[in-house]
Structure 1
Amino acid sequence: MLKIGEFSQLGQVSIRTLRHYDEIDLLHPKLVDEESGYRYYSVRQLDVLAQIVLLRELKFSLKEIKSLIQQDPKIFTAALLKKDREIEKEIQRDQFRQQQIQQMIQRMQHKGNYQVKIKEIPAFPVISLRKKIKSFYHEGLLWEEFQSLLKKQGLPFPSDSNQCLTIFHDEEYLEEGVDVEVAIISSKKAVKPLQMKQLPKIDHAAIFYVEGNYHQLPEAYQAFAKWLEEHPEFQMIKTTRQICHIGPEHTNNPEEYLTELQIPLISLTLT
């Protein structure tokens, strides 16, 4: 038998915590001397205490721990595996946050130089696939579906990235349910679910390029907003077009991406 002080030292848990565990019926002493009130623990109880300490480190509540250590080993194992999956998700979220921190630092240290040019974009025919996708990060899956449909209809996919574009139809930024259309410049015939249509001429489009990964797009749009402020004679309208000159299908290095943004404008001086 071990006195509470000895049990505390060997189990690396304070006496105050051991008394608290006793009060909440989590871990009782093996013996309490009626005359002196001294608490004694068995050596075997160190294993139970070690389990409690580990479960606390794994963010289990004391209520959950009390239930688990009294359960069948299979139930205990299942609970541990569930917690393992939760921790894995937390790790992924933390890694994503770390990436965001590093990207923000890089953007602060290397501010992009976005030169906005006004161009006229002529009308041209396209074959397209338009859908509401889960989020902007699912655009790649839409392109894969588009290419598969083109292949089934015997339609070639252009090797020149300038012949491919993405059109964003939402008037506002959405976290989910994004209205996206992927298209290729083509005058060939296609059947549903693919569409054949003529994209209208744009008299004035703000054209600028984003070098590097897609996380820099917010910074690019901020730069464009400042440009708009400096050019009150123009007003943006919806249906932004995006051309990926260099993307995931061209390189494994996101810092080598090159994206062209085309934002239709209205000239207020002509209205």
Structure 2
Amino acid sequence: MLSIGEFSKLCEVSTKTLRYYDEMGLIHPDEINPENGYRYYSIKQLQKMLFINRLKSYHFSLEEIKAILELEEAQSEEKLCSALHRKRRDIQEKLDALEYTLKQMSSDIMNLEKGIPIMSYLDRIEVQLVETRPKNILYMRQRMSSDDYAAGYGTYFSRLYEKIATEKLTLLGTPMTIYHSPEYNPAGNDTEFAIPIEETVKGTRDLPGGLCAKSVAKGSYSELTSVYAKLREWVEHEGYALVNSPYEVYVTDPNQVTAPEGNVTEVYFPVKKK
């Protein structure tokens, strides 16, 4: 048997953390002395603790690790493999985002060294006035928190595509998102996911056509905030007023783009002349 101190030293986990893991049910001492309360761990528990440490190094939360540990032995390997695949995708997405940020920083540094203002990129965002045609859209409308967006886009668009395939509906365009909330709320925003189709069925509605200020964002979705700011500035400067919710049309499929730079997103602001 190993004392809690010995176990702590071997696994490089503090005794305070081991007590917390015991409280939340991750790993319990194999034995507790009833007289003095000393905690002891068996040699066999070293492997379990190392497994917990390994999952933590993969950025699994303690709740996720607990759920994995509680899996039945017959299904544990399969479920663990699926969980690792999901976590690897999450980490790769974060790495891609960090790589994009590094490239952006390098570009800003180079421009500053040449005497070019850091925000001069806004001048390169083009805005045009276009007339859009009405669309029949299959839609789902949800209140989405800022943390839900990444997963939500895949979930709701997948459901829409599944309905299109099941009912043999006719696609007329790429996915789009309409933002109905009058202000940004991290706790939840009124978001509509939609795909243009030909047929009028349950779950479709008309998206009116009309005059729109339009811009095209190429690159990471984090760049969309700049595009929105540029569009709003243009609308004000040119004497127009917003008449409906802004929306985005995803020209490229995020699942098919290998790097953030490959994303192409059209942003539309429905407007009228003041």
**Band of TM-score, shorter chain:** 0.5 to 0.7
Tell me the TM-score normalized by structure 1.
Answer: 0.61
Aligned partner of 1:247 in structure 2 is 253
CA distance in 2, matches of 1:94, 1:250: 18
Aligned partner of 1:86 in structure 2 is 56
Structure 2: 5+ residue stretches without partners? 20-27, 30-38, 61-86, 109-120
CA distance in 2, matches of 1:250, 1:102: 18
Distance 1:101 1:188, change over 3 A: closer
CA distance in 1, matches of 2:57, 2:243: 44
CA distance in 2, matches of 1:210, 1:83: 41
CA distance in 1, matches of 2:182, 2:134: 22
CA distance in 2, matches of 1:119, 1:148: 32
Q: In the alignment, does 2:274 pair up with 1:263? A: no
Structure 1: 5+ residue stretches without partners? 1-24, 28-47
Give the secondary-structure state (helix, strand or coil) at the position aligned to 1:89.
Answer: coil
The AA in structure 1 aligned to 2:162 is: S
Give the secondary-structure state (helix, strand or coil) at the position aligned to 2:171.
Answer: coil
CA distance in 1, matches of 2:162, 2:186: 26
Contact conserved, 1:136 with 1:178, CA < 8 A, in 2?
Answer: no
Deviation, structure 1 residue 178: 4.2
Q: 1:179 aligns with which of 181, 190, 200?
A: 190
Distance 1:251 1:76, change over 3 A: closer
Aligned partner of 1:198 in structure 2 is 206
Tell me the TM-score normalized by structure 2.
Answer: 0.61
Aligned partner of 1:61 in structure 2 is 14
Give the secondary-structure state (helix, strand or coil) at the position aligned to 1:157.
Answer: coil
The AA in structure 1 aligned to 2:258 is: N
Contact conserved, 1:116 with 1:227, CA < 8 A, in 2?
Answer: yes
Aligned partner of 1:7 in structure 2 is none
Contact conserved, 2:170 with 2:197, CA < 8 A, in 1?
Answer: no
Q: 1:124 aligns with which of 131, 135, 139?
A: 135
CA distance in 2, matches of 1:250, 1:128: 22
Q: In the alignment, does 2:100 pair up with 1:103? A: yes
CA distance in 1, matches of 2:47, 2:14: 16
Q: 1:152 aligns with which of 166, 169, 172?
A: 166
Distance 1:127 1:99, change over 3 A: closer
CA distance in 2, matches of 1:95, 1:55: 28
Q: 1:140 aligns with which of 154, 158, 169?
A: 154
CA distance in 1, matches of 2:246, 2:48: 49
CA RMSD, Structure 1 to Structure 2 (Å): 3.6
Which structure is larger by alpha-carbon Rg, 1 or 2? 1
Give the secondary-structure state (helix, strand or coil) at the position aligned to 2:58.
Answer: helix
The AA in structure 2 aligned to 1:136 is: Y
Contact conserved, 2:170 with 2:198, CA < 8 A, in 1?
Answer: no
Deviation, structure 1 residue 187: 4.3
Q: In the alignment, does 2:206 pair up with 1:209? A: no
Give the secondary-structure state (helix, strand or coil) at the position aligned to 2:195.
Answer: strand
The AA in structure 1 aligned to 2:14 is: S
- Number of aligned positions between the proteins: 211
Deviation, structure 1 residue 155: 1.0
Deviation, structure 1 residue 64: 4.2
Percent identity between the aligned chains? 18
